[in-house]
Structure 1
Amino acid sequence: MGGYELAFTMRERVAGGAVAVELRGEIDILADQELGPRLEALAACCPDLVIDLRAVTFLDASGMRLLLRTRDRLAAHGGRLRVVRGGPRVSRVIRIAGLGAAFEWLDEVPVTAGGCSFQEGIVPA
């Protein structure tokens, strides 16, 4: 029996004084279950979190709930969430769901003068 390959990944790095999280692939209920605990932990300890959606190919209601929970957890700890816009499919889903005003949007991840490198490898939690 062959192994199952996850349809998503998550990478973390420090960028422009924030923790940047790059989500890649399909952010659905499985991704929510796997990545949710790690994003909640980051939200509890990092005052400035950036989630990069540019490499997300699919986002469903579970993925949107994951983003909203992360935003709410950060707000409860006095932090902020910024989200890098995804491609046309992801942007359309967010627009249809009426969540455009729910997040602070960026066009790219902030970088430091010297650039930044990934501090952790590919996760799923």
Structure 2
Amino acid sequence: MGGYELAFTMRERVAGGAITIELVGEIDILAEQQLGPRIEALAGRCRADLVIDLRGVTFLDASGLRLLLRARNRAVRCGGRLRVVRGGPRVTKVFRVVQLEAAFSWLDAPPGTGVPCGPRDGSVPA
């Protein structure tokens, strides 16, 4: 019998003045339990500019959404902000189905990657 391998990973880096958290794999209840404390700690930094990159996420359920909402709420309470890099079509569909797209500020790529970041709906960022 082999050991159990986690179906998700998290990497963090600072780029473009923001803390970028790259999530990869299945963001479900186990991921929420394992990653939640670390993400909430980062979101709780005073005036933190936090970006969560969902491009590597292959599965997102209600627990993953709850994790993102808690991080957003914590960042706002601490005077910071949270932005989310769009994931693939399956992940994007989850936000659309549960009508949570408007709850987040969306980017097409993380800051500091040389790819223009901004809203997809054609609006001009404030």
Can you give the 5+ residue segments of structure 2 that lack an aligned partner in the other structure? 115-126
Q: Which residue of 1 aligns with 2:67?
A: 66
Quote the Cα distance in structure 2 between the aligned partners of 1:63 and 1:15: 24
- TM-score calculated relative to the size of structure 1: 0.88
Quote the Cα distance in structure 2 between the aligned partners of 1:112 and 1:87: 18
User: Shift of residue 109 of structure 1?
Assistant: 0.4
Q: Which residue of 2 aligns with 1:20?
A: 20
- TM-score calculated relative to the size of structure 2: 0.87
The aligned length equals 113
Please give the root-mean-square deviation of Cα atoms over the aligned residues, in Å. 1.2
Can you give the 5+ residue segments of structure 1 that lack an aligned partner in the other structure? 114-125
Quote the Cα distance in structure 2 between the aligned partners of 1:65 and 1:50: 16
The answer to which structure, 1 or 2, has the higher relative contact order (CA under 8 A, 6+ apart) is 1
Residue type at the aligned position of 2:78: H
User: Shift of residue 112 of structure 1?
Assistant: 6.9
The superposition leaves residues 55-85 of structure 1 with CA deviations (integer Å, 9 ceiling, x where unpaired) of: 0000000000000000000011010000000
